A and B are shown apart, each in its own frame.
Chain A
Amino acid sequence: RKEVEQDPGPFNVPEGATVAFNCTYSNSASQSFFWYRQDCRKEPKLLMSVYSSGNEDGRFTAQLNRASQYISLLIRDSKLSDSATYLCVVSPGTGANNLFFGTGTRLTVIP
């Protein structure tokens, strides 16, 4: 079983739509969780960390469900510029070298 699993998509949504991605992780001892955004042929960039209580940054909301071992990312009022691949990243907390990356979920926002 992979450490981190994501639905690869693609998710094709119209502008203004709300879209949600889930990501499951296998190690129940995982401590840190992140969402990264990666544009085509570019490096991943940190979108947001995911905290136990959930957190929001503008149109983006991240949630953590430890009991079911998944994290989610909700994007409201989708913009064309949100089109990218979203990577789920999990760390067991024993060192940053143990960041495990999902394969990413591809989002395309359609005019």
Chain B
Amino acid sequence: DGGITQSPKYLFRKEGQNVTLSCEQNLNHDAMYWYRQDPGQGLRLIYYSQIVNDFQKGDIAEGYSVSREKKESFPLTVTSAQKNPTAFYLCASSRAARNTEAFFGQGTRLTVV
């Protein structure tokens, strides 16, 4: 089945550690995104990539890094510089064409302990 897979579903991190969230898609989508969702807030864009080997900062990129070495993969690293990393992280993908909807992975719930 085609889709987007995020792993792990739950992740616990100690303060000061970097962690990497995985996102893989087999939809042949060119564009991929990372969003963060906090209680009572809408989704906020962290990073996006529209082609391999290229990515752009979203609204809240500070403390995060990404790579896009393969079309299918767009991992997100939450670094120790991210001051408030506890959140629900959602990866999405879409066709590169305009006005297209995004399809989401199941999300990773990150908790800093």
Which residues of A does B touch, CB under 8 Å? 4, 8, 31-32, 34, 41-46, 49, 87, 89, 91, 93-97, 99-104
Contacts and interface: CB of A to CB of B under 8 A. Distances in A.
Given A44-B104, A96-B102, A100-B42, 10 more contacts: A31-B98, A32-B98, A46-B101, A93-B98, A96-B33, A96-B95, A96-B96, A97-B33, A97-B58, A103-B40
Contacts of B35: 101
Q: Is the interface of B mostly helix, strand, loop or mixed?
A: loop
A34 B101 contact: yes
B31 A97 contact: yes
Given A44-B90, A46-B103, A96 B98 contact: yes
A103 B41 contact: yes
A99 B102 contact: yes
